[in-house]
Amino acid sequence: MENRSERSRRDFLKGGAAGLVTALLGGVSQPMADHSKEFAILQDTTRCSFCEKCVGACEKRHGGEHPGTFYTQVTLTYPQGKEARPLPVSTRCMHCFDSPCTRVCEGKALTKTVLGAVTWDEDRCIGCLSCVSVCPFPKSLHYEPSQGKVYKCDMCYDRIVAGANPACVDICHAYGYDSLSFGPFDEMRELGMQKAREINGVLLYPGQTHTLILFAPEALNTTMMSRLFGFTREYSVETILKADVTQVAHFGWIPVLGGLIYYGLKWRKNRIEQPPERPRKEQ
Amino acid sequence: MSYWFGAKPKLSSLDLKKPGLASLLVQKTFLVNPLSALFHVGMVGALITGIIMEILYFSSWGSILNGGGWVITWVHGGLGLLTAVGFMGVLARFASSKSFRVASGRGFYIDAVLIGVIVVSGLILLLRILGILPAASGWESTIHVAATMVWLLVSLFGGGLVSHAVGTVAYSFTDGHSPVALQIFSSACSRCGKCVEVCPEYEASNGLPEQAPALKVRRYLKQFQDSASPAERKAIVEHVYACALCGLCVGVCPYAFRHYDLYMGLLRQVNRTQEGEEVRA
């Protein structure tokens, strides 16, 4: 499909520009080949009715202590043309395979888990905004200045470990909708591909993220998508490059420390002769 | 002759003792100028909090902060703001004082550009952290980290502000006139330009930069060590020996550095290697 060419182009660029330094550092988080243990959320925008029940469920699940720090928000936009249906997209963390945020996190608060979810530890977050600056999807991280921290979707990690669905998916099903679905990554991907073939739509980033979004053909106005959601048809190479540069720069303490030691040794080595001792009064 | 912000250099006695670390860090910094104090407090504090953030990045100790880690980020941002304000003062001094320009040399531009990049990227981040600008993706976070690391290394070896800081701390642990101390002072010199203002040799040479004491200490020492042949060394020493040994520079130097010790040491060494005997001072 067309997405395959996007992926290969990105891999090529990454291999050429940014992946080189990553490979030198030991290949930190390469995309995992085996997806059998991973889960994914599939979102069918053609079936969403903009009821915002998922937002309420997310707020109940996550935002109890600090109001305003829930992660799911449904954005509604109007495509060009009067006949076109308004397009609701539930924006949350896309749970990238090769997540740039986990590599630049100063407090080691973000973790890419084996289940595919990028989890987040509130105690470790220091609110440095590094993750926000490298995130390819600007609406997936919520910085709350009153708390000094970044909040994000963790795919309801404790619920999926216990075998349950995320709160947003459960509430979607409970109200009789099937816009959101959750399951093993391979199943969700096949389901999304099948739906995309049926409606001639596009599944966004089927091989790069653990949140799969299905768009109808009439919603594929790239300008509108990039303006309103920060989504682009192409997974951003720029953010991967940013993450790699930041990651390498963090290792700058090694040359700095080495330079300090060398500098100190140079003082001792390049000594000049002891000046003659003179009584001070003779000046 | 123009003095910075109208403050005339105060000539102290030539028996001035080498100041200790506390005196160098507090008296010689805080009492000189409020902007100087802001710059030093902000820079040292921002570096320390930045190092703490780097330690968090390379360790898994983040959870012991118990959710209070954001305070480090906010303090780092606040200290960075102080640095930015103080840095305005440094730039103003560079623009207004010719002696400071002469003493700093061209290495100042490296520091100015790199600190400018760090400050601007940090200010954008600070506005985002305070919620004034939206928290959105941008290059400023990456540039902030990368430029800081580059600045630390370039400024250390380019004779910039980092070598001044490292050298000042190291100089306070020396006796002030041993061979190593002479070496360290050439790094520690704060380029304040006071020695340039009072130097009669510099005045008599119509402001020839090579005759500025602050430059002699750095430039001639480096040239002396780099040049291999005794003839080259001797030529340098002849330049150095234009000094009249009046000692005014020692009186105004915040480090109470005895410049003539260095000149005499160079002269003594080149004569010893050439003629195999000591020359009396």
- Please identify, among B166, B201, B217, the residue that sits at the C-terminal boundary of a domain: B166
pLDDT grade for B58, boundaries at 50, 70 and 90: very high
- d(CA B172, CA A79) in angstroms, rounded, equals 69
Say whether pLDDT at A13 is over 50: no
pLDDT in tens, B228-279: 676 777 777 777 777 888 888 888 888 888 888 787 777 777 666 655 444 4
Q: How far is B88 from chain A (nearest CA, A)?
A: 25
Query: The domain containing residue B222 runs over which residues?
Result: 193-275
Judgement on whether residues B148 and B244 belong to the same structural domain of the protein: no
Judgement on whether residues B28 and B161 belong to the same structural domain of the protein: yes
B76, closest residue in chain A (CA to CA): A128
Judgement on whether residues B97 and B225 belong to the same structural domain of the protein: no
CB contact under 8 A, B65 and A123: yes
Judgement on whether residues B158 and B56 belong to the same structural domain of the protein: yes
Q: How far is A42 from chain B (nearest CA, A)?
A: 25
CB contact under 8 A, A134 and B142: yes
A148, closest residue in chain B (CA to CA): B70
Q: Is A261 exposed, middle or buried (CB count within 10 Å of its CB: 0-12, 13-18, 19+)? A: exposed
Judgement on whether residues B157 and B91 belong to the same structural domain of the protein: yes
pLDDT in tens, A147-199: 888 888 888 888 889 989 988 899 889 998 888 999 999 999 999 999 989 98
CB contact under 8 A, A150 and B135: yes
Is B91 part of a structural domain of the chain? yes
- Please identify, among B166, B183, B207, the residue that sits at the C-terminal boundary of a domain: B166
Q: How many domains does chain B have?
A: 2
Is B207 part of a structural domain of the chain? yes
The β-bridge relationship of strands A39-44 and A211-215 is parallel
pLDDT of the residue at B13: 47
**ipTM exceeding cut-off 0.90 for this assembly:** no
- Give the CA distances from residue A129 to residues A101, A106, A120, A132, in Å, rounded to whole numbers and listed in that order: 10, 9, 14, 5
Judgement on whether residues B247 and B131 belong to the same structural domain of the protein: no
Judgement on whether residues B161 and B198 belong to the same structural domain of the protein: no
CB contact under 8 A, B224 and A242: no
Pick from A124, A231, A232 the residue to mutate for testing the B interface (most B CBs within 10 Å): A124
Highest-pLDDT range among A119-123, B28-32, B141-145: B141-145
Judgement on whether residues B115 and B161 belong to the same structural domain of the protein: yes
Contacts of B163 in chain A (CB under 8 A): 263
- Please identify, among B126, B149, B166, the residue that sits at the C-terminal boundary of a domain: B166
Contacts of B72 in chain A (CB under 8 A): 126
Is B13 part of a structural domain of the chain? no
Is B175 part of a structural domain of the chain? no
Q: Which of B55-69, B176-190, B226-240 has the lowest mean pLDDT?
A: B226-240
Pick from B63, B142, B257, B270 the residue to mutate for testing the A interface (most A CBs within 10 Å): B142
pLDDT of the residue at B114: 96
- d(CA B265, CA B137) in angstroms, rounded, equals 57
Element housing B57 (H / E)? helix B34-58
Is B156 part of a structural domain of the chain? yes
* DSSP helix/strand/coil, B134: coil
Contacts of B220 in chain A (CB under 8 A): none
pLDDT in tens, B113-170: 999 999 999 999 999 999 899 888 889 999 999 999 999 999 998 888 999 999 999 9
- In order of their start, the domains of chain A are 2-24+34-269 (3.30.70.20)
SS (H, E, C) chain A: CHHHHHHHHHHHHHHHHHHHHHHHCCCCCCCCCCCCCCEEEEEECCCCCCCCHHHHHHHHHHCCCCCCCCCCEEEEECCCCCCCCCEEEEECCCCECCCHHHHHCCCCCEEECCCCCEEECCCCCCCCCHHHHHCCCHHHEEEECCCCEEEECCCCHHHHHCCCCCHHHHHHHHCCCCCEEEEEHHHHHHHHHHHHHHHCCEEECCCCECEEEEECHHHCCHHHHHHHCCCCCCCCHHHHHHHHHHHHHHCCHHHHHHHHHHHHHHHHHCCCCCCCCCCHHHC
Alpha-carbon torsion, ordered A102, A103, A107, A108, to 10 deg: 60
Judgement on whether residues B160 and B68 belong to the same structural domain of the protein: yes
- d(CA A236, CA A136) in angstroms, rounded, equals 6
Q: How far is B177 from chain A (nearest CA, A)?
A: 8
pLDDT grade for A220, boundaries at 50, 70 and 90: low
Residue A257: alpha-carbon gap to chain centroid? 32
Of B65, B74, B156, the CB nearest to A263: B156
B147, closest residue in chain A (CA to CA): A249
Judgement on whether residues B153 and B198 belong to the same structural domain of the protein: no
Q: How far is B69 from chain A (nearest CA, A)?
A: 4
Highest-pLDDT range among A61-65, A220-224, B85-89, B199-203: B85-89
CB contact under 8 A, B281 and A249: no
Nearest to B129 by CA among A137, A70, A127, A130: A127
Judgement on whether residues B114 and B249 belong to the same structural domain of the protein: no
More confident residue, B52 or A139: B52
CB A272 within 8 A of CB B267: no
Sign for the pseudo-dihedral over CA of B188, B192, B195, B201:
positive
The mean per-residue pLDDT over the stretch A249-275 comes to: 83
CB atoms within 10 A of CB A248: 18
pLDDT in tens, B98-110: 888 988 888 899 9
Is B211 part of a structural domain of the chain? yes
Contacts of A107 in chain B (CB under 8 A): 56-57, 62, 65, 69
Is B60 part of a structural domain of the chain? yes
Q: Kindly report whether the global pTM for this prediction surpasses the value 0.90.
A: no
Interface of B with A in 196-215 (CB under 8 A): none
- d(CA A87, CA A104) in angstroms, rounded, equals 33
Judgement on whether residues B149 and B74 belong to the same structural domain of the protein: yes
